[in-house]
């Protein structure tokens, strides 16, 4: 693994979270793309699990704090036992503070006025001695701490909890890298997360459609509507769709594929993501479906066609799809 979490809330649904309360998806504020997570009430939170727990990681969180709002927690990192490993909050004076529970509290030096977006990046290496906590607000270093960064055991981070204190508050462009692999193994950078979704018929139309006149039209809603969907009872069937273009240029760090899907009854069957590039359907990882609607997803860091970083032109020319197994 390298990129172990990525979420821009562009799917438009809280179902991308593993747990939440007092939050909603905002379409009026977004650091990039067109959506963000809105924490409307104090204590409201949204929880995102990491694909794999890590003791050394790099985190990026886009936050839009309120004007005023007093002193409160903004986000937390929790371990696999759901214990806090790092809490990041904003004081009434507008600076951030970083708490490693039971170990230390460090004040940042940057002002974060309300009602504007900031990119907070954190490097955390959990160790009882020689651990590191480095944070940046936008391009400016906020803290640089060396010491005991191990709040408790297990010494890992497994969950990111957005909110849990301050409100109203917006989050966007979440990314977490661990230090494995050859790419995405350091600072995520100050990029943003944008959506690509079906916009027309693709090369394959093997699946049937219910509730819509065309297959692509059944799977393009944001947030998803289950009144229309595509389906197949057969394995090995492929559906692909033309997809919207990215309007932003730049280098692509990673891509996350989402499908909101289910089985109509319990059993062992599922889907594979399809990336149709240059007339070839590249299959993603097989994903088992459950007999209830939920998001399935995978993070793809490089193009399956080239093995290199994705490019904007490649994604703009690509068809999205799904294959049954």
Partner 1 sequence: MPERRIAQVLLETDKLATAPERRVSQVVLEVDKLASAPQRRVSQVLLEVDLDQEAVPTVVRQVGQVLLEVDFETLRTPQVDQVLLEVDFEAILSPQVTQAGAEIESAAAASRRVTLTGAEIESAAAASRRVTLTGTEVEIQDRRQRQASFLGLEVEIEPAAKEPLFAALRAVPTHQTSALLVAHIWKPEVGPPYKPRGRYLDTVPLVESYEHTLSADGGFTSASFSFRCSLSDVDEWLDDGLGRHVEIYDDALQLVWEGFVNQVRATAAGLAVSRGPLADIANRVVVAYREVELLGINPPGMSDEVSLTPPLDNVESQARYGIIGKVVQANQVTADEALNLAAHYLQQYAFPATAKELSLGDRGQELSLTVECLGYYHWLGFYYYSFTEALPQTRPASEKLALILDADPNGIFSSANAEIEENTLEVQAYEEYGRTAKELVQKILELGGPGPDYARYLLRVGPGRRVYYYRQPLDIVYRQYLSDPLQRVQTIAGLEVRPWAVQPAVWLQIPDLLVGRVRPGTVLERDPRVLFVESVTYSAPYNLRVSSSPPNAVARIFAQQARSSMNL
CA dist 16 and 8 (Å) reads 10
Considering only residues 275 through 314, tell me which ones interact with partner 1, judged by CB under 8 A: 289, 293, 310, 312
Nearest one of 176, 163, 156 to 6, comparing CA atoms: 176
From residue 5 to residue 44, what is the string marking binding to partner 1 with x (rule CB under 8 A)?
A: -xxx-xx--------------------xx-----------
Nearest approach, Cβ of residue 103 and partner 1 (Å):
22
Residues 6+ apart with CB under 8 A from 59: 77, 121, 122, 123, 124, 160, 175, 176, 188
**Nearer of residues 75 and 207 to partner 1, judged by Cβ:** 207
CA dist 11 and 238 (Å) reads 22
Nearest approach, Cβ of residue 83 and partner 1 (Å):
29
Nearest approach, Cβ of residue 67 and partner 1 (Å):
6
Nearest approach, Cβ of residue 295 and partner 1 (Å):
8
Query: Is residue 71 part of the contact set for partner 1 (CB under 8 A)?
Result: no
Query: Is residue 81 part of the contact set for partner 1 (CB under 8 A)?
Result: no
**Nearer of residues 108 and 155 to partner 1, judged by Cβ:** 108
Tokens 């793809």 sit at which residue? Answer: 300
From residue 213 to residue 252, what is the string marking binding to partner 1 with x (rule CB under 8 A)?
A: -----xxxxxxxxx-xxxxxxxxx--x-x-x--x-xxxxx
**H-run or E-run covering 56:** strand 56-64
Query: Is residue 199 part of the contact set for partner 1 (CB under 8 A)?
Result: no
Angle 243-246-247 (CA atoms, 0-180°, nearest 5)? 135
CA dist 244 and 256 (Å) reads 15
Considering only residues 143 through 162, tell me which ones interact with partner 1, judged by CB under 8 A: none
Considering only residues 114 through 133, tell me which ones interact with partner 1, judged by CB under 8 A: 114, 116-118, 121
CA dist 106 and 124 (Å) reads 14
> Any idea what DSSP says for residue 309?
B
Stretch that binds partner 1, among 40-48, 73-81, 136-144, 149-157 (CB under 8 A): 136-144
CB 295 within 8 A of CB 289: no
CA dist 87 and 94 (Å) reads 16
Query: Is residue 57 part of the contact set for partner 1 (CB under 8 A)?
Result: no
CA dist 13 and 264 (Å) reads 21
Query: Is residue 320 part of the contact set for partner 1 (CB under 8 A)?
Result: yes
Nearest approach, Cβ of residue 154 and partner 1 (Å):
29
The binder of partner 1 chosen from 21, 49, 189, 304 (CB under 8 A): 189
**Nearer of residues 180 and 226 to partner 1, judged by Cβ:** 226
CB 276 within 8 A of CB 157: no
């Amino acid at each position: 693994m390298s990129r172990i979490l990525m979420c821009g809330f562009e799917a438009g649904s809280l179902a991308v979270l593993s747990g939440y309360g007092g939050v909603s998806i905002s379409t009026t504020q977004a650091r990039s793309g067109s959506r963000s997570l809105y924490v409307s009430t104090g204590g409201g939170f949204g929880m995102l699990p990491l694909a794999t727990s890590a003791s050394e990681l790099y985190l990026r969180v886009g936050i839009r704090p309120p004007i005023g709002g007093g002193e409160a927690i903004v986000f937390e990192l929790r371990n696999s036992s759901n214990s806090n490993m790092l809490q990041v909050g904003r004081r009434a004076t507008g600076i951030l503070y970083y708490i490693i529970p039971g170990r230390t509290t460090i004040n940042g030096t940057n002002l974060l006025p309300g009602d504007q977006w900031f990119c907070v990046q954190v490097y955390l290496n959990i160790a009882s001695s020689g651990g590191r906590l480095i944070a940046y607000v936008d391009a400016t270093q906020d803290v640089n701490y060396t010491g005991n960064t191990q709040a408790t055991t297990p010494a890992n981070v497994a969950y990111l909890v957005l909110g849990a204190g301050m409100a109203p508050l917006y989050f966007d462009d979440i990314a977490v890298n661990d230090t494995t692999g050859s790419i995405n193994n350091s600072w995520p950078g100050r990029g943003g997360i944008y959506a690509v979704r079906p916009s027309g018929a693709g090369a394959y139309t093997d699946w049937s459609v219910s509730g819509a006149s065309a297959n692509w039209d059944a799977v393009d809603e944001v947030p998803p509507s289950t009144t229309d969907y595509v389906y197949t009872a057969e394995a090995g069937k492929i559906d692909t769709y033309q997809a919207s273009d990215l309007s932003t240029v730049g280098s692509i760090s990673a891509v996350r594929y989402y499908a909101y899907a289910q089985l109509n009854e319990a059993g062992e069957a599922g889907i594979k993501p399809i990336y149709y590039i240059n007339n070839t359907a590249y299959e993603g990882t097989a994903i088992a479906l459950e007999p209830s609607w939920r998001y399935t997803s995978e993070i793809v860091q490089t193009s399956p066609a080239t093995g290199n970083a994705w490019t904007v032109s490649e994604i703009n020319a690509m068809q999205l799809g799904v294959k049954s197994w």
